[in-house]
A and B are shown apart, each in its own frame.
Chain A
Amino acid sequence: MPEFPISGYHGRVLVADLSRGEVRTLPLDPGLALDYLGGRGMATRVLYDTIDPACDPLGPDNAFVIAASPLIGSNAPTAGRGHMVFKSPLTGVLGTSNSGGTWGAAFKAAGFDVLVVKGAAATPVMIDISPGKAEILPADHVWGKTTHETNDVLAAVSEPGNPARVLCIGPAGENLVRFAAVANDRNRVYGRCGPGAVWGSKKLKAVRVRGKEKIAVADMEKYRSGLDQALYLMKQAPVTKRLLRDLGTAGLVELINLIAMLPHKNFQDCLHRDEDVERISGETLAKTLLEKAGSCYLCPIGCQRHTRVAGRDGREERGEGPEYETMVLMGPLCGIYDLGAITRANYRANELGLDTMSYGGTVACAMELAERGLIGREEAGGLDLAFGSGEALESLAVMTARREGLGAALAEGSYRLAAGRGHPEYAMTVKKLEIPAYDPRASYTQALGYMTSPSGACHLRGGYAVSLAFFGGAREIPRFSLLQSPIAIRNMQNVGILQDSLGVCRFTGYAFSSDPWARMVGGITGRDFSVARLEEIENRVATLERQFNIEAGVTAEDDVLPARFADVPIVVEGKERRVSREDQERMKQDYYRVRGWDAAGRPTPGLVRSLQIEESKR
């Protein structure tokens, strides 16, 4: 294969067709690198060229794509993350999910930029990738095993200096739980939108990578100037300097409660007793269960929580977490403030391969349905489904992953669970994706982010508004501005697209925005990746994602919050706050216009042309 003309890329796309049982290496189109950069951008373009967005997400016509970025392989901070895109079996729209850990960096070191997996195998398989070699292998020996067990079995081939890194699903993925995750490094997960179910539908248990291929840097001085600036700013910003290392993301629990944004009982309110919140705070976690902080590949922030907890049988268990989202969505959202119960359930979810966020949201929904008499104790297999029932958390995780009893209904996610009982209004979702742990009534910008995220209610794809509404430092924005929210959220979403396309962590955004990245990626590639050019790429990716969703059947009616957020106020700083339907409509229409979409939320032909988005090549 001829040498790739742009530094930072290997110029290779690995395509595995599981139906045919064949693996091919194709050359990477340099135009793809220049127009879509890498990671999320490049993966989305490749997916759009590979599948019909209207396909059955659990059928062989669906595919998933993982792409690295030119930064991966350098020593840029946090540049080791992977990004996976697919059609989501939970939402029916674009599934787009990101993970830390080490797998992303190892995949790039195996000599590839993009992995495309399509078709479906008849029996369990895995893909084994190393420089110059990729093959599909049987995986019956690990089918049925947890993510931890699978990882340990498959990583056993590691050699000193050449570790094998494993990306795999657990029983939840095998059983097509619609919010099943894909894990690497045991506890780092591609959680959102159900990628694990897509893998399960393809009978793909794992992808193992090894390698030591390096990338070239075209302009080291330019690269270093961006790197120096990034590292300096990360040491300056309190969140990246200390908060996340000392307290983990759970350090946000008390702060988010202070700004009246911490959800409670399936978003019925944001009212908590301070002493309850303290029981699950980052401080309490650090003082009680934390063994040590940990880091993803090349991350100086180090937010991972390596913890231990007494199991229900009294024996000590070790694992990771809980992170903020898990802590709150499996905690107060379910009326639970029992740190031990949340931690144990978090361990189970990781082992079984469940997205803890959607799982927490689904359990909260089930608890509200039970409270309203729409799920009986018998159906729950005798489990106490009242809000606050910590014991149910762990048991339900196992039942869900195995689709046992009520678990089979939970495995469909909260929207289908509630709709199946005639009450979809109790599902706190946007586009059927469970809402993260920030109440949208406490920030219009966050509300609009959930409404317009390409993957449904996701704070990372929809725009991490809370990072600017409270911890933004100089970039802090108003929380209740109808005028500022549409552009603010568009800009935040765009920064997210950039970070996901570069394979770097969202938390770097607490310290800096695009500028240092522009210099780093410009330095590595030796190409013009100015901030203006990066902005163009961000807008191109956002519009392509929308285009995919339109073709998948999304309409403007899908870009709304559940009725509860318009009808039931919460109190923020003494004022009742809700996001009325009129305000939602105004912000949504304004958002469409700043994106260059029409009133129905469709990218206009003129915009598609100006962004040079080509038609799908499928």
Chain B
Amino acid sequence: MSAQKWQATGELLGEFQALGRASLAYDVQDSHSGNMAVRRTTERGEDEIVITATGSQKGALEPNQICFLSATETDYGYYKASSETDIHARILELPGVRASMHAHVKDLVLATLDDEPKPARPPDFVPVDPLAFHHLGSAIPVDWFAVPSGSPELARVIPERLAGHPLTIIFGHGAMAKGRNLREAFFRLCVGNNAGTVVRAMERLRIDVGAVRRAVTADPGSSFAGAPPPYEIEGDDRSDFREEEEILKEFVKAGHRIFESRLSPFHTGSMSVRGVDSMLYAPKASMPRDVGGPLLRVALSAGPADDSETALHKAIYATSDFQTVMHCHIPEAEASAHFVYPGEAAPADRIIPVDAEGTFLYLVIPVLPPNVRTDELVRFLHDYKVAVVRGGGVWAVGGQSLSEVLHHPSSVREICLYRIGAVERGLDLRRLEPQKAKRW
């Protein structure tokens, strides 16, 4: 028996440990659940699977809890490895797949639960938020299994599903995601869970989710602000402004906060600090501790290669004096942007805080339509510093610092949580909202 079968070191260990901790921080696991696997080629040219040990605490993985097994034959490493190893092994056989991850994405699981008699195939999950819609597809499969963990059925069905989808849902259990690397798999799980959070928040706000789904399915172009940039697996270690030590620290702090406070799922959102000719830019703003993301120096002038996200940062700066911009996909804000007051037909054009802190910080938070023009968005940002774009996330600006701009999405989430909680308790939002906010 060779200790090499379960003794990870170096970068590989660091990656498993960091993503394990991140999954706990993002609350998509319980202490011992979930598993992660990657496929790699050894120095001898053999295919190898690296996978977390069964029963290991993902938030505190030890070196000996990362197992190395042959991709082609059973060996000792296999017996210590996750009980889902067979499933991972088959997923990792899919073309282009180098990583797979399983997590108990509770909000997504809850959003797909039903009480229909089983066995039966539950309906696909239709996301109503732009991230999941674009990154995971317009319909995510959900499968019910008699034995929903480690069973041969799972090992057969899940890889089949993942052959055609980035992520698949195991009814009442969790989800499996594939990726070109572990980060991409984790990104998809977080985006999936976020989609569940959006739907659950809508349900708590008594929004007709079915109607929103029909609208999204019928015309995604006018339901979303635009496709977010594709997930890049390269360049996370790139840092173009190491010499700007203080600003670098601010980016890292803000990135952690966005992730840990669930202001935007893993490696989504963006933030920037503007210089005179260039901006310092984090295109994957939501960054857990120990997992970075690219920190770029980008020319301020618009370029043909700019993705939609980068282009909007630049456009905001081009027509304002702001020094910082942040974009987050806050699930509670996305849901709140669809809120319709009883007796009204269309979603409200503002979110009115009902809590004391929120009321004093913002009289109203504007909700803008998905197709809002950039100049209109900038005008609202001038007056309100933060705006929710329905189907497009939360945009915020600051006059001075990243910390300042971070405060806006953070407050918006709190404000939305209070409103959602109030509706859940059967309270009348209209009676809670300050009178003056309604006329603005």
- Chain A residues engaging chain B, CB cutoff 8 angstroms: 221-222, 224-225, 228-229, 232-233, 468, 472, 474-481, 483-484, 486-488, 490-492, 494-495, 513-515, 518-519, 530-532, 535, 539, 590, 593-594
The answer for the CA separation of A225 and B363 in the assembled complex, in Å, is 8
Q: A229, A479, A487: which contacts B360 (Cβ < 8 A)?
A: A229
Q: B274, B379, B407: which contacts A487 (Cβ < 8 A)?
A: B274
CB-based contact B439/A532 at 8 Å: no
Main secondary structure on A side of the interface with B: helix
Which chain B residues lie closer than 8 Å to A228 at the CB level? Answer: 360
Q: Name B91-133 residues within 8 Å CB distance of A.
A: none
CB-based contact B246/A479 at 8 Å: yes
Known contacts: A221-B439, A225-B436, A590-B275. The answer to whether A481 contacts B400 by CB under 8 A is: no
B150 interface residue per 8 A CB criterion = no
Which chain A residues lie closer than 8 Å to B247 at the CB level? Answer: 478, 481, 483-484
Question: Smallest CB–CB gap between A137 and chain B, Å?
Answer: 46
Known contacts: A474-B407, A483-B244, A535-B321. The answer to whether A515 contacts B385 by CB under 8 A is: yes
B1 interface residue per 8 A CB criterion = no
The answer for the CA separation of A593 and B404 in the assembled complex, in Å, is 24
Which chain B residues lie closer than 8 Å to A484 at the CB level? Answer: 244, 247, 273, 275, 323
Known contacts: A232-B360, A483-B280, A484-B275. The answer to whether A474 contacts B321 by CB under 8 A is: no
Which chain B residues lie closer than 8 Å to A539 at the CB level? Answer: 321
Known contacts: A228-B360, A481-B244, A532-B382. The answer to whether A472 contacts B401 by CB under 8 A is: yes
Q: A475, A478, A530, A590: which contacts B276 (Cβ < 8 A)?
A: A590
Q: B321, B363, B403, B406: which contacts A494 (Cβ < 8 A)?
A: B321
CB-CB nearest in chain B for A231: B360
Interface residue total, chain B, C-beta cutoff 8 A: 32
What are 20 sample pairs from A and B whose C-beta atoms fall under 8 A apart? A221-B439, A225-B363, A229-B360, A477-B401, A478-B247, A481-B244, A484-B244, A484-B247, A486-B276, A487-B276, A487-B321, A488-B323, A488-B400, A513-B399, A514-B399, A515-B383, A530-B382, A530-B383, A590-B275, A594-B276
In the A-B complex, the 4 residue pairs with the closest CB atoms: A478-B246, A532-B382, A590-B276, A483-B275
Which chain A residues lie closer than 8 Å to B278 at the CB level? Answer: 483
CB-based contact A518/B244 at 8 Å: no
The answer for the CA separation of A487 and B247 in the assembled complex, in Å, is 14
Q: B320, B379, B382, B400: which contacts A468 (Cβ < 8 A)?
A: B400
Q: Name B337-368 residues within 8 Å CB distance of A.
A: 360-361, 363
The answer for the CA separation of A486 and B300 in the assembled complex, in Å, is 15
B250 interface residue per 8 A CB criterion = yes
Which chain B residues lie closer than 8 Å to A491 at the CB level? Answer: 321, 323, 399-400
The answer for the CA separation of A478 and B244 in the assembled complex, in Å, is 9
The answer for the CA separation of A481 and B379 in the assembled complex, in Å, is 29
B398 interface residue per 8 A CB criterion = yes
CB-based contact B382/A535 at 8 Å: yes
Which chain B residues lie closer than 8 Å to A490 at the CB level? Answer: 321
The answer for the CA separation of A200 and B245 in the assembled complex, in Å, is 51
Q: Name B275-294 residues within 8 Å CB distance of A.
A: 275-276, 278, 280
The answer for the CA separation of A400 and B245 in the assembled complex, in Å, is 47
Which chain B residues lie closer than 8 Å to A535 at the CB level? Answer: 320-321, 382
Question: Smallest CB–CB gap between B207 and chain A, Å?
Answer: 28
CB-based contact B383/A531 at 8 Å: yes
